[in-house]
Structure 1
Amino acid sequence: MLVEFAMQHAWLVPLLPALAFVVIVFLTRPWQLLSAIVAVGSMATACFFATLAAIGIFTNHEYIEKPLVYATRWFSLGLPGMPDLRIDVGVQLDPVSAMMLFMVSFIATFIFLYSVGYMKGDPGYSVFFSYLSLFGASMLLLVLSSNLLQMFVAWELVGLCSYLLIGFYTHKISAREAAKKAFVTCRVADFGLLLGLLSLQIVFGTLNLTELAGKIEHFEQYTTFGMLTLIAVLVFIGPIGKSGQFPLHVWLPDAMEGPTPVSALIHAATMVVAGVYLVGRTMFLFHEVPSAMQLVAVTGGFTALFAATVAITQREIKKILAYSTVSQLGYMMLALGVGSLSASMFHLWTHAFFKALMFLGAGSVLTALHHKADVWEMGGLVKKMPITAWTFVIGGLAIAGIPPFAGFWSKDEILVSALSTGHYVLFAMAAFTAFLTAFYMWRMIFLAFFGEENPANHPKESHWTMTVPLLVLAVGACFVGLLGTPWHNVWGEWIRFGHAHEGAPNYGAMLLSIVLAGAGILLAYTLYLKDAKKKRARKMAEWFGPVYRMLYNKYYIDELYLWFNHALVDGTAKLFYLFDIYVVDGIVNSIGAFARLSGDGLRVFQSGRLQNYVLVFFLGVLAVAVLMAFSGSSTAAGLVLGGVK
């Protein structure tokens, strides 16, 4: 009964945190603890309903092929000569959306709980929880949307909330600039997405997901292959920005300027995975356009390797995790591009647990060290912060791909998908990325937790509101990957596009994955822990000086964008300004000056006094008469005088 109620009223899941946002803003803002209770309670209740709804979906095989959809008319518009425009607002529940609904609400609940301790003493405590609630509501609405317009509204709300939360510390210039950078970068990408959605509506007459899937399967009846390719590329531009894919990844590392719970929420369970989810939701479109699928795969593979090479040189703990997120999102896009929705969503699922765990662990470290972020200035934290340290280690094992932790199963599934579809170059890129991932993650762990203690640091373990979420997420990082083992792939049976994967386990790929992960950890151990003074690491940085500086400066892409903005955008604006001042304004001002001078001249003859006009008229007639008289033309004079008479 309760499960059925949750499935039929799944709209309550995003509604509850949305109501929490309203309550905090208008009622409980003066009382910080009460605001926190409202936010955490609403998200926990939403998680309860989401869990029940997911149970209902995953216990009924009928929802694999036919999703549960219920909607109501949002608005309709009759256009002369065109089909009526009808937009519904509704809910679509199937295995993919049910998984996302549970995952987002579950992880958000523990991030909210973590924030209770992390944000203690902050003057904007209640406002922060109101923003978090709106953020959670927006992402949950996006997940449940039954049509692309409703999803786009939630998509933009997620972008707004990220702007508010990244720039939450308004007294910091860097936070304000990072918020603007995130907002503008994503708006550039969203313009392409909007064009794609408008094109879908114009060509196919609907934005409903189930209707679009049926029509695009027979797209020849509606449009050409070239037009469909253009639509697919336009739609993909939005996820490039939202999910931090190259070259629009630049906003995501700067998002670290917000409070750490924001980083965990953005990078693990909400904003950045929205792009991956959108591509997965519209796989029926990309599946019909092989070139668009190839674009998705190449973009993902390149982004994964590119971000991993940057991460190996970074020093700030959250920056390392941020570039790790960019790299892992590239893995997810790669899996989608080679046609495996199952592998992509599986890695999204496992990544949410271990990456949220690691970001919250980083926040625990930053709190204990008074926001000292450089991992080279940490060391020995395992002795003073055992819960934070060992849960962080579990996250490191999971993301490195060590069995039986969650990341091993999902990353291996992506490698097998690339290999089995003949994408050997992308497979090689993904495999090398796996090695780099293990290396830079364990470089960070060895430096921060197991290296020589820094006597200047006096850390202590965090409050229970921060450590309990770490323990829960650590359990998830250990076991959530067991849903997709090659021997009993429950995940692949439920979450897929097309037929379920029934291939035998690829032991070669599994062995290669383990060897690469082990090699990366061993190299990090040799350079950063076995060598106590880090002489080898420093020598390597010196040997590869130009390369090291290029990686440390993130390939100078931010500087390139800055140059582009100053030289081209500002330069073009200046040219238009000069054209406006000297050409447009010159022409307009010249016409105005001519009219003014002409008016000044004519004003002499237009005084408005009747006696002046009579005098002028009389003098004119007299002058003509005198002229005629002296010229000897009596006939003309008579005519003139006769006319006067």
Structure 2
Amino acid sequence: MITVASLFSVAVFAPLLGALVTGLLGRVIGDPISRIVSVGLMVVSAGCAVAALWFGLAASAQAVAVPVSTWVQAGGFHAAWTLRFDTLSASMVTMVSCVSMLIHLYSVGYMSHEKNPVHRFFAYLSLFTFAMLMLVTSDNLIQLFFGWEGVGLASYLLIGYWYDRPSAVAAAIKAFIVNRIADLFFMVGIALLFLLFGTVSYDNIFATVPEHVGASYRLFGTSFPAFEVIGVLLFIGAMGKSAQLFFHTWLPDAMEGPTPVSALIHAATMVTAGVFLLARMSPLMEFAPVAKGLVVVIGASTCFFAATVGLVQPDIKRTIAYSTCSQLGYMFVAAGFGFYQGAMFHLTTHAFFKALLFLSAGSVIHALHDEQDMFRMGGLARKLPVTCAVMWIGSLALGAIPPFAGWWSKDAIIDGAWMAGGGLGGFAWTLCTAVAFLTALYSWRLLFLVFHGRPRVPELHDHAHESGPVILLPLLVLAVGAAFGGWLLRPWYIGEHQAAFWNGSIFNAPDNHVLATLEHTQGLIALVPTILSFLGVAVAFVCYMLKPEIPAQLARSMRPLYLFLLNKWYFDELYDRLFVRPYRALARLLWHVGDETVIDGVPRGLARLTVGGSSGIVRIQTGSIAVYAFTMLIGLVVLLSTFLLVR
């Protein structure tokens, strides 16, 4: 008998099977079979995930534990390998598996001209998907950390897939190191959770949260609330995975990987892990108001920072990458106000339109023989009509133009910030509303530079051609989600059915009324973000279609500001001076002084002393019996003198 638990298990483990088959047997079965196996198992995963979510909702069951095996058993510590089925995990599994399935299918066409065998690429994609599924279906913190590190490893492998390119290798290492720094804080947070609650199981932790509300830690003679400390540490871990301000520098460099990798990382996996973490830990975060306030400040600041940088980027993929960073800021703003349902709503709609935008950008790059500079494009609408149409749909969703998907979820978050009130609410609402204008501006800047106006490099334009059906089919499917996903999902995620839909998988404290007051947002306040979005489109039309000389004039007249934005607020240069150069200097000092002088120098000095001593002794070996007798006499005198002195 097929059960929800069995469907759920197949959805999670089918990508693992695909990774093992293509990774271990790819050379034997060849690339064509590897592609079929990988894509076929992802289709199975997506189908089972949709079925499990559908039947699970119909049953209206509480969280169900699907045991897999005993994992860690050390003394009194026990951590089982168990899949947690509830609405939060099931909705994430459905989103991840469906988007990943489309990206797998797209990769068949996109990587068809790759000179090297691509079975390794498909193995990495499937491994990445499995690691993310393990993260979102975890039933305890140890299993969560396993999936957390798994997506970090898989991202390193995928970003550096073209390992013969120094830029790709550097980007992969950068992503790995930046995430490891944030993960250190995350590990400390998990350790403190275990020390406080004596367990790593979600159910056991959440059930005893009220008993530990007053707990505190003493550090440097000061007492800190335990939940605040843990909440901040968990959030710093989330900042690394979700590329929030100060830990964002790896995200644009991740564009060095193939475009399907960019889509998978930015739309469905890895960057959404931090948002999921806060939603999963909502029973604890609701009792950490200071930590939640920090989430709002960082989220709103990231939202604004990334949008300003996206305004001036010449690279098509980097522009979309900074939009991901900005949209993640919206999700964290929602989570910081306790509006976890809104954060998950925007996470889901964002998966549709962001995957669509990245894959559409890949279609453009594929048509232009790997050209990514938007200022070398132009007039491609006639050459790539389908790609142009779906990218318009994705941009309409990203720019929050009604009634496309992004409008439903992003405006709900902005309204939630306003209804939260206070200084924090005003700060978040102001920045998020301003970003609505900036998002529309850089989105239509991309569209006008790439698809409209005159061709800037005629030879590129002349050789451009529309992609094949294997590439276009996933784009058309995602375009449907970007167009109608918000309207279809709103009643379930934040509307009248949200309580029954989430069914206790997300916790809101009794004094958290953001979701309940969402519908009472004043009419004009609710319209402001939409008005600014349309204004952003209009400004982009004037600057890049009617008066294309305006951007260049602004760049010249405000050159310091232009360079500040073009160089991403100089974060990379600042980190290079503060961390990279001192670290290299210290490493060089330890190398030359510690390693060469001390560690290697002591054995070498002893060796030289031994050689020198043996050379002196060799001189005594003259072959003369008289010299030997005289030497023995001297030794006897020394021995007798020493004996007499000791006595």
Do the two structures share a fold, i.e. TM-score over 0.5? yes
2:382 maps to what in 1? Answer: 383
Deviation at residue 9 of structure 1 after TM alignment: 4.8
Q: Paired residue for 2:564?
A: 550
Distance 1:27 1:146 in 2: 32
In 2: Cα distance, 1:245 partner to 1:192 partner: 15
Structure 2 unaligned regions, length at least 5: 218-223, 642-647
Size of the alignment, in residue pairs? 609
- Rounded to whole Å, the distance in 2 between the matches of 1:131 and 1:7 is 26
Match of 1:636 in 2: none
- Give yes or no for the alignment of 1:515 onto 2:534: no
Does the aligned pair in 2 maintain the 1:338–1:418 contact within 8 Å? yes
Rate the CA distance shift 1:475–1:505 in 2: closer, same or farther, 3 A. farther
- Give the match for residue 528 of structure 1: 544
Equivalent residue runs for 1:114-153 within 5 Å: 114-122=106-114, 123-153=116-146
Deviations 1:27-57 (A, max 9, x none): 3435212111101110110111111111123
2:436 to 431, 434, 437: 434
Deviation at 1:322, TM superposition (A): 0.3
- 2:586 is aligned to 572
Contact 1:14-1:138 within 8 A present in 2 as well:
no
Q: Which amino acid aligns with 1:448?
A: V
When residues 490 and 516 of structure 1 are mapped into structure 2, their CA distance, relative to the original with a 3 A threshold, is farther
Q: Which amino acid is the alignment partner of residue 573 of structure 1?
A: A
Aligned positions of 1:31-50 closer than 5 A:
31-50=30-49
1:307 and 2:314 are equivalent in the alignment: no
What's the counterpart of residue 642 of structure 1?
none
Q: Which residue of 2 aligns with 1:634?
A: none
Q: Which moved more, 1:536-545 or 1:359-368?
A: 536-545
Q: Secondary structure at the match of 2:81?
A: strand
Contact 1:487/1:505 (<8 A) preserved: no
Q: TM-score, normalised by structure 2?
A: 0.88
Determine the C-alpha separation between the residues in 1 that align with 2:257 and 2:494: 42
State the 1:203 CA deviation: 2.3
Whether 1:55 aligns to 2:60 is no
Matched, 1:497 2:520: no
1:218 is paired with a residue of what secondary structure? helix
The partner residue of 1:460 within 465, 471, 475 is: 465
1:111 to 103, 126, 134: 103
Alpha-carbon offset, residue 566 of structure 1: 4.4
Which residue pairs with 1:15 in the alignment? 13
- Native 8 Å contact 1:346 1:491 kept in 2: no
* Structure-1 separation of matches of 2:561 and 2:494: 43
Structure-2 residue corresponding to 1:630: none
Which stretch of the first structure deviates more once superposed, 503-512 or 391-400? 503-512
Larger CA deviation: 135-144 vs 359-368: 135-144
Pick which of 356-365 and 216-225 moved more. Answer: 216-225
* Structure 2 residue 50 is the aligned partner of structure 1 residue 75: no
- Shift of residue 219 of structure 1? 1.2
8 Å contact kept, 1:107–1:356: yes
Uncovered stretches (5+) of structure 1, i.e. residues with no partner: 79-83, 625-645
- Which residue, 66, 81, 86 being the options, matches 1:94? 86
Tell me which of 445, 470, 476 is aligned to 2:475: 470
Q: How far apart are 1:577 and its partner, in Å?
A: 4.2
Residue type at the aligned position of 1:217: P
Evaluate the alpha carbon distance shift between residue 292 and residue 46 of structure 1 in structure 2; reply closer, same or farther with a 3 A threshold: same
Cα distance in 1 for partners of 2:150, 2:89 equals 19
CA distance in 1, matches of 2:31, 2:243: 34
Q: Give 3-state SS (helix, strand or coil) of 1:484's partner.
A: helix
Whole-angstrom distance in 2 between the partners of 1:296 and 1:25: 39
Cα deviations across residues 504-523 of structure 1 (Å, max 9, x unaligned)? Answer: 25333331121011011110
With normalisation by structure 1, the TM-score equals 0.88
Q: Which moved more, 1:224-233 or 1:12-21?
A: 224-233
**Structure 1 residue 601 displacement after superposition:** 10
Cross-structure match for 1:450: 452
Query: CA–CA distance in 2 between the matches of 1:450 and 1:481?
Result: 28
Q: Shift of residue 604 of structure 1? A: 12
- Give the number of the structure whose alpha-carbon radius of gyration is greater: 1
CA deviation profile, 1:408-442 (whole Å, cap 9, x unmatched): 01001111111111111111011101110011001
Deviation, structure 1 residue 599: 10
Q: Counterpart of 1:91 in 2: which secondary structure?
A: strand
Bigger Cα displacement from structure 2, 34-43 vs 494-503 = 494-503
Residues 203 and 223 of structure 1 are in contact (CA less than 8 Å); yes or no, is this contact kept in structure 2? Answer: no
Structure 1 residue 202 corresponds to structure 2 residue 195: yes
Identify the match of residue 216 of structure 1 among 209, 213, 223: 209
Instruction: Give 1:481's aligned amino acid.
Output: G
Q: Check conservation: 2:215, 2:226, Cα contact below 8 A.
A: no
The Cα shift of 1:235 comes to 1.7
Tell me the CA shift for residue 574 of structure 1: 3.3
Aligned-CA RMSD value: 2.9
* CA deviation vs aligned residue, 1:580-599 (integer Å, no higher than 9, x gap): 26677778888998999999
Equivalent residues of 2:8, 2:49 under 8 A apart: yes
What is the percent sequence identity of the aligned residues? Answer: 39
- AA aligned opposite 2:178: T
Q: Which residue of 1 aligns with 2:4?
A: 6
